A and B are shown apart, each in its own frame.
Chain A
Amino acid sequence: RKEVEQDPGPFNVPEGATVAFNCTYSNSASQSFFWYRQDCRKEPKLLMSVYSSGNEDGRFTAQLNRASQYISLLIRDSKLSDSATYLCVVNLTSGTYKYIFGTGTRLKVLA
């Protein structure tokens, strides 16, 4: 079983739709959590950090459930420019600060 699991998609949604991505992680010692965005043939870029209380940045909302070891990302009012792969990232932050990535979820927003 992979340490971080995501549905690879693709998710094809119309412009303006709301779409949600989920991610589960297996290591309960995980300390910090992120969503990164990766465009085709580009490097990953931080979309947002994920906090236990949940956090929002414009059209994006991230949630963390430590008890269920589950992270989510909600995108409201999807734009064509949101088309990308969304990577769920877990960081143990104890001894090593390596990122553990999920496979990524591909999103395509259609006109």
Chain B
Amino acid sequence: GAGVSQSPRYKVAKRGQDVALRCDPISGHVSLFWYQQALGQGPEFLTYFQNEAQLDKSGLPSDRFFAERPEGSVSTLKIQRTQQEDSAVYLCASSLEGFEEQFFGPGTRLTVL
């Protein structure tokens, strides 16, 4: 069956550009999470949705980061005015219910020049 998919898989942006990263969760999964993983580190939580409601955005590092899931399925993470420190792998995960196992997508590797 289809797992979590993310696009694009790789993104190179010039500093100051805006980027949009897409996540397609497993069909029927209520919960969706975004994580940021820097090189050599574990993933760090960014934000969490239950259906279309964004219940926790405590991990978003600045107001340049914005996430949405308007119809409770596909989600987009947007980063405005990208900075070099935004370079990382952005992982999306979904779970059937929040407390169950999270399934991760392949990630989007963002490089900001």
Contacts and interface: CB of A to CB of B under 8 A. Distances in A.
B45 A98 contact: yes
Interface in B72-108: 91, 93, 95, 98-99, 101-107
Interface in B4-54: 31, 33, 35, 40-45, 48
B59 interface: yes
A93 B43 CA distance: 18
A31 B103 CA distance: 19
B55 interface: yes
Interface string A70-104: 00000000000000000100010101111111111
> A43, A95, A101: which has the most chain B beta carbons within 10 Å?
A43
Interface string B53-77: 0011011000000000000000000
Nearest to A98: B45
B45 A93 contact: no
A46 interface: yes
Given A43-B91, A43-B106, A43-B107, A97 B98 contact: yes
Interface residues of A, number: 24
B99 A97 contact: yes
B56 A96 contact: yes
Contact of A98 (B42, B59, B103): B59
A32 interface: yes
Given A91-B99, A97-B98, A98-B48, A103 B105 contact: no
A42 interface: yes
B19 to A, nearest CB: 20
Given A45-B104, A96-B55, A101 B42 contact: yes
Interface of B: 31, 33, 35, 40-45, 48, 55-56, 58-59, 91, 93, 95, 98-99, 101-107
Given A93-B98, A98-B59, A103-B42, 7 more contacts: A34-B101, A42-B106, A43-B91, A96-B56, A99-B93, A100-B45, A103-B40
